[in-house]
Chain A
Amino acid sequence: MAWTEKILRVNLTKGTCESEPLNMVWAAEYLGQRGLATKYLVDEIDPKVDPLSPDNKMIFATGPLTGTCASTSARYSVITKGALTGAIACSNSGGYFGAELKMAGWDMIIFEGKSEKPVYLSIVNDKAELRSAEHLWGRSVWEVEPAIKAESGDPQTRVCSIGAAGENGVLYACIVNDLHRAAGRSGVGTVMGSKNLKAVAVRGTVGVTVKDPKAFMAATMAGKKVLADNAVTGEGLPAFGTQILMNIINETGALPSKNFHDVQFEGAGKIGAEAMAEVRASDGKANLVTKAACFGCTIACGRISQIDKDHFTVVNKPEYWGASGGLEYEAAWALGAATQVDDLECLTYVNFLCNEQGYDPISFGSTVAAAMEMFEDGTITTEDTGGIKLKFGSAEALTQIAELTGKNEGFGAEIGLGSKRLCEKYGRPELSMSVKGQEFPAYDPRGIQGMGLGYATANRGACHLRSYTVASEILGIPEKTDPLETEGKAGLVKAFQDATAAVDSSGLCLFTTFAWSLDDIAPQIDAACEGDWTPERLAETGERIWNMERQFNLAAGFTGKDDTLPQRLLKEAAKTGPAEGKVCGLDVMLPEYYSLRGWSVDGVPSSQTLERLGV
């Protein structure tokens, strides 16, 4: 019921695929997807394991509502120990792959060991087998998907795969499904590549059952109506996508630019939603072709874009002339505002490469920005970069580096280390804008104080999704708070973190929370799943998940000292905009946050807290 109650355990060393029953006691405690898979991971691996060793495990996990008729029921997550961070990694993706896996009858796939030769996993309902991928290794995500579909003989097969980046050990390689959706962060694709696993192909016709179909239909229809009637999920997001944020975050003075030197970017207007919709003088078309939705999604925030054929990045490259996944706000920020490149077509091309070769545009763009700063101050030279003039604002340099990084060639191999290792290598560790080894996304903590606390404490490294308080601090959802104030942010961040962990464990998309609260989500889960699921139980489940992830990180070697931000954000004040003169007040927010969490002053969960939650 909702859960299929079956796990596929794939031992890549032995080449075996076996079914085992889902631990239903854990399902009741951790719900599914992020929470449940993390429970399995922390139970089965040594927290000190090398992420790229065969002893690390990687779990593809759906939620109980994945594959049902609930709105946005597309979601699955990849849980592992992150290659980029050495912390818990949990990367969420939409598209259609996750729903297909659930409809094939599987809650999760647990990958163990390492295959001697490249393989891919083929699943057709209850039949699972590893097949040789030697003919696929070295081929891009965009080639592998149609090739596997052709091999399967069923065009409705869904595929996820790694590209050159995952094969070559780029530390922030991602796993791409349905050509342009991704489990993007923390190097989950690097882990997949380290196991010689090229792809997973799945076809599912079993379907998903629920506990009380009538109640489920009623609850999901009610939820759908809330989404449709809400101005954000019913109009704004489908029309403009996440890229509507570019001009907003710039106007509010929290758009990090030039490796977080600045909090605003003059070129913002050229790389946001409005620019994507503008008709180009050159070919009379707009960058944005249409919107796109994931399985079961009634919001459709996805973007499909087409690059100007004559643009320098794609002239004579017809393989990039088609329409494909366009820029999200995060990618446009990292590739554009962070590096000061204001060429929309260039950013779209690099985003295409990120999908085709499978690497995270956020970590990539931010690493390039750090490298640009080192180039401009002479720390690195054209001798290091192989002749590339890595200056801020150079679309040519960004393009050259992007073409090298996935393949691990030239200076691209250094960019593929991520900013923490790159900056340490050149003796400038302070220039890596990262927490726990993962690069920041697109909000400056000096301009949005709560995000500073969120970045510092996110269990998977700097992450905007773990606690998207931008919703409250900037967008007024559910209620407006002052982005420049630190007061009250500890409680806000904790509440967002706990609720988000529950949503991430359900199979639903986080973007529903612009319209839904746990009050809208709980009835849907309650109707689908065994047991009584209330909003309070979901919030507590989220808190339990958060503390479990924290415990894993502490056992992996992280401490409260890692809950910090780069000195630039703590000591160098914003130079313009509403936050002018301000730094991030993390020192004020963090102690209160620890206290609210029931942790010690060093950020260790107390035994009472762990007992109360049953961690």
Chain B
Amino acid sequence: MKLKIKLYASLKPYLPAGTPKNEADIEIPEGSTVQSVLDDFNMPEGLYKLVLVNGVFIVPEARARRIFVENDVFAVWPPVAGG
């Protein structure tokens, strides 16, 4: 199934090569979870912090349980802040 994935800041290099800007539509196996997709991208833990599905933060303990469904939007940032 398709997943819209957005990787920002220092995570952008993990998107498929040639992705303009920060968004890509990727194919993932049915039953993929937040954690399994993070692992598939080979992003070391600690590199990502804000893990959002449809704008909602998924706490670390829930990432292996949250299964993606059609039309989910997955957005991830490293630790960042502002004002």
The minimal Cβ–Cβ distance linking A268 to chain B, given in whole angstroms, is 11
- Among A5-13, A102-110, A472-480, A592-600, the stretch that binds chain B is A472-480
- Identify 16 new A-B residue pairs, CB closer than 8 A, beyond the known A247-B22, A465-B83, A474-B57: A235-B10, A236-B9, A245-B81, A248-B77, A251-B52, A251-B75, A253-B55, A328-B82, A468-B83, A471-B81, A475-B80, A475-B81, A476-B49, A477-B79, A514-B81, A578-B54
Among B52, B54, B79, B83, chain A packs the most CB atoms within 10 A around the CB of B83
If A244-B8, A252-B52, A480-B59 touch, whether A464 touches B81 (CB-CB below 8 Å) is no
Q: In the complex, what distance in Å separates the CA atom of A253 from the CA atom of B53?
A: 12
Asked if A232 is at the interface (CB within 8 A of a chain B CB), the reply is: yes
Asked if A398 is at the interface (CB within 8 A of a chain B CB), the reply is: no
The minimal Cβ–Cβ distance linking A79 to chain B, given in whole angstroms, is 20
The minimal Cβ–Cβ distance linking B71 to chain A, given in whole angstroms, is 14
Q: Are A232 and B75 in contact (CB under 8 A)?
A: no
Complex A-B: 20 CB contacts under 8 Å: A233-B81, A235-B78, A236-B81, A237-B82, A239-B9, A240-B80, A242-B82, A243-B82, A244-B82, A245-B81, A247-B22, A248-B8, A248-B80, A252-B52, A252-B55, A329-B83, A475-B49, A510-B83, A577-B55, A578-B54
Among B6, B9, B81, chain A packs the most CB atoms within 10 A around the CB of B81
Top 4 A-B pairs, shortest CB-CB distance: A242-B82, A231-B79, A236-B80, A245-B82
Q: Are A274 and B22 in contact (CB under 8 A)?
A: yes
CB-CB under 8 A from B77, the residues of chain A are: 244, 248
Asked if A444 is at the interface (CB within 8 A of a chain B CB), the reply is: no
Asked if A321 is at the interface (CB within 8 A of a chain B CB), the reply is: no
Chain A residue nearest in CB terms to B47: A231
Asked if A269 is at the interface (CB within 8 A of a chain B CB), the reply is: yes
Asked if A32 is at the interface (CB within 8 A of a chain B CB), the reply is: no
**Mask: chain B, 51-83; 1 = CB below 8 Å from A; 0 = not:** 010111101000000000000010101111111
The minimal Cβ–Cβ distance linking B63 to chain A, given in whole angstroms, is 13
The minimal Cβ–Cβ distance linking B44 to chain A, given in whole angstroms, is 12
The minimal Cβ–Cβ distance linking B41 to chain A, given in whole angstroms, is 18
Q: Are B82 and A241 in contact (CB under 8 A)?
A: yes
Asked if A511 is at the interface (CB within 8 A of a chain B CB), the reply is: yes
The minimal Cβ–Cβ distance linking A410 to chain B, given in whole angstroms, is 33
**Mask: chain A, 239-277; 1 = CB below 8 Å from B; 0 = not:** 111111101100111000000000000000100011000
Q: In the complex, what distance in Å separates the CA atom of A551 from the CA atom of B38?
A: 51
Chain B residue nearest in CB terms to A250: B55
Asked if B5 is at the interface (CB within 8 A of a chain A CB), the reply is: no
Q: In the complex, what distance in Å separates the CA atom of A566 from the CA atom of B21?
A: 36
What size tier do the contact residues of chain B reach? 20 to 34
The minimal Cβ–Cβ distance linking B43 to chain A, given in whole angstroms, is 14
Q: Are B83 and A475 in contact (CB under 8 A)?
A: no
Q: Are B49 and A251 in contact (CB under 8 A)?
A: no
Q: Are B8 and A232 in contact (CB under 8 A)?
A: no
Chain B residue nearest in CB terms to A330: B83
Q: Are A244 and B80 in contact (CB under 8 A)?
A: yes
Q: Are B54 and A511 in contact (CB under 8 A)?
A: no
Q: In the complex, what distance in Å separates the CA atom of A330 from the CA atom of B46?
A: 28
The minimal Cβ–Cβ distance linking B74 to chain A, given in whole angstroms, is 10
Asked if B50 is at the interface (CB within 8 A of a chain A CB), the reply is: yes
Taking a contact as CB atoms closer than 8 A, the residue among A231, A241, A301, A482 that contacts B78 in the complex is A231
Q: In the complex, what distance in Å separates the CA atom of A406 from the CA atom of B81?
A: 31
The minimal Cβ–Cβ distance linking A278 to chain B, given in whole angstroms, is 8
Q: In the complex, what distance in Å separates the CA atom of A477 from the CA atom of B57?
A: 13
Chain B residue nearest in CB terms to A576: B55
Q: In the complex, what distance in Å separates the CA atom of A83 from the CA atom of B20?
A: 46
Q: In the complex, what distance in Å separates the CA atom of A253 from the CA atom of B10?
A: 22
Q: In the complex, what distance in Å separates the CA atom of A27 from the CA atom of B15?
A: 53
Within A475-495, which residues are at the interface with B (CB < 8 Å)? 475-477, 480, 482
CB-CB under 8 A from A230, the residues of chain B are: 79
The minimal Cβ–Cβ distance linking A235 to chain B, given in whole angstroms, is 7
The minimal Cβ–Cβ distance linking B56 to chain A, given in whole angstroms, is 5
Among B49, B55, B82, chain A packs the most CB atoms within 10 A around the CB of B82
Q: Are B80 and A237 in contact (CB under 8 A)?
A: yes
Q: In the complex, what distance in Å separates the CA atom of A465 from the CA atom of B82?
A: 11
If A244-B9, A475-B50 touch, whether A251 touches B55 (CB-CB below 8 Å) is yes
Taking a contact as CB atoms closer than 8 A, the residue among A278, A464, A511, A578 that contacts B55 in the complex is A578
Q: Are A242 and B83 in contact (CB under 8 A)?
A: yes
Q: In the complex, what distance in Å separates the CA atom of A251 from the CA atom of B56?
A: 8
Chain B residue nearest in CB terms to A264: B55
Q: In the complex, what distance in Å separates the CA atom of A510 from the CA atom of B81?
A: 12
**Mask: chain A, 497-522; 1 = CB below 8 Å from B; 0 = not:** 00000000000001100100000000
Q: In the complex, what distance in Å separates the CA atom of A247 from the CA atom of B12?
A: 14
The minimal Cβ–Cβ distance linking A4 to chain B, given in whole angstroms, is 29
